[in-house]
Amino acid sequence: MLLLMFGVFYFLLLRPQQKRQQALREMVSQLKSGDKIITTGGIIATVTAVRDKTLLVRSADKTILEITRASVAGMHGEEEKGS
């Protein structure tokens, strides 16, 4: 019974989360200059330069920010496509 509960938990919760994390890692690794992103802090910005561990992004008021790749939540506009 315990194995069955673990199996259900794995396939309903853990596996989908792992797939989302893998898709996000792939998306972040393929970012290029000009891509519009949204950060985990809610900042919408355009990628201006890609470095090894960081990205340089430009916000709406033309401010250049250096952010880590881990702070990218997704591509801006992607949430509208999914709806």
Indicate which CATH number applies to the domain containing 28: 2.30.30.140
Contact 52, 70 (CB under 8 A): no
Give the pLDDT score at 70.
95
Give yes or no for residue 22 having a pLDDT over 90: yes
Q: What would the pLDDT profile of 2-18 be if each residue is shown by its tens digit?
A: 888 888 888 888 899 99
Q: What percentage of residues in the chain have a pLDDT greater than 90?
A: 73
| Torsion angle of the four alpha carbons 53, 59, 63, 65, in this order, in degrees rounded to the nearest 10 | -10
How confident is the model at residue 45, as a pLDDT?
Answer: 97
Host domain of residue 22: 2-82
pLDDT of amino acid 83:
45
Q: What is the pTM of this model?
A: 0.75
Number of domains into which the chain is organized: 1
pLDDT value for 7: 86
